[in-house]
Copies of this chain bind each other. A is one copy, B any other.
Amino acid sequence: MEPSDSNQQRGGRTTVDPEQTAVSDVGEFGLIAHIRDALAGGDAPVDAIRDDVLAGIADDAAVVRAPGASEDDPGGGRVQVLTTDALVEGTHFDRTFMPLGHLGVKALSINVSDVAAMNAVPRYALVTLGLPEGVSVEETRRLYDGFRQAAEAYDVAVVGGDTTSAPRLVLSVTVVGEANADEIVYRRGAEPGDALCVTGDLGAAYAGLRVLLAERQRLQQRREQEREEDFRPNLDEFSYVIQRQLAPSARLDVMQGWREEGHRPKALIDISDGLASEVHHVCEAGGTGAHLEGAALPVAPETRTAADAFEQDVDVYALFGGEDYELLFAWPEDELDRLDAETFTQVGTVTEEGEGVRIRPPGEEEPVPLKPSGFDHFEE
């Protein structure tokens, strides 16, 4: 007998039955709504049914009460946050320009970022690896070396995982974090009049992606010897934005600093899909609108240089680029002086729900509506 028979299993259609609905027709967030509905099975969501589940699928991470903890305990009792995020070759990264050590860093960072976005402390990680035939043992080790280095930096213990063969490289990571219940910050909680602020700078990861894509195109053209390239980036000149794309850091440092000072934002989310998309999430969760100042968007000089080189608008990078893994938070506007000014930039204010999400472009008098259209893996 051949127990590896099922290694040979192949199949599956590549187009959707015309009587059914393609995922691209509903988009990523539409699909998530369907999934939440199917998981509820006609009932209310799980966080409305089980009193040990404080938050389910609607936030950056789920929040559950720790075993044996009670809301009558000091700090509202210990809770745990649970989050999972995957990186799929061909969807999230290109192995031709993603060093596998960096991939390990990124896979952990994007999950730790979700824990930071709940104002919790990451504790444990599990990592599932789907490995295609072309990846060697040595490369696999480099991937886990990167994962370990990031785990050490975040003080996370890698306690388990799964390995399997797969047609493309897939990394699916779960991180468990801890906090007191009264430390947790949700997406909801912003109120009209609050300042909307971000940590760090925006658009750099997308700028890095553009630089890498241009470099890949240049290499392809050289191989094909068809024509000269339009623009050849000097990769050394773009080391910051490339690093932001390939091996981002979660902003645990900022959250830890604030916790030590006794600071706690009113609403908090990490910027994974682009600032515009995350502002919409905060507004939807809190029942508010938002006004952004285009001139206030924090952009690193290198990001601006990259956008200029590609003759693109750097504010578009900052608003829609995605993968920044900075934090967006709401804070009472008259108490901003309590925060270290080095750690954040105010990008706007929270408004009434009826005003929607608007942005005043740099140099313009009047604000215009801002669409969420961030990075959507199912977008056409």
Complex: A366 Cα to B284 Cα, angstroms: 72
Asked whether A225 is an interface residue with its Cβ less than 8 Å from the other chain, the reply is no
Q: Chain copies in the assembly?
A: 2
Q: Which residues of B contact A148 (CB under 8 A)?
A: 38-41
Complex: A50 Cα to B129 Cα, angstroms: 24
Q: Which residues of B contact A93 (CB under 8 A)?
A: 6, 9
1/0 contact trace for A182-221 toward B, CB 8 Å? 0000000000000000000000001001100100100000
1/0 contact trace for A106-137 toward B, CB 8 Å? 00000000000000000110111111111111
Q: Which residues of B contact A80 (CB under 8 A)?
A: 67
A12, B144: Cβ atoms closer than 8 Å: no
User: How many Å from the CB of A208 to the closest CB on chain B?
Assistant: 11
Q: Which residues of B contact A23 (CB under 8 A)?
A: 131, 133, 135-137, 140, 165
B174, A16: Cβ atoms closer than 8 Å: no
Q: Size of chain A's interface in residues, with CB distance under 8 A?
A: 129
B15, A134: Cβ atoms closer than 8 Å: yes
Complex: A206 Cα to B62 Cα, angstroms: 36
1/0 contact trace for A80-106 toward B, CB 8 Å? 101111101111111110000000000
B78, B94, B124, B136: the one within 8 Å of A62 (CB) = B124
User: How many Å from the CB of A46 to the closest CB on chain B?
Assistant: 5
Q: Which residues of B contact A168 (CB under 8 A)?
A: 12, 166-168
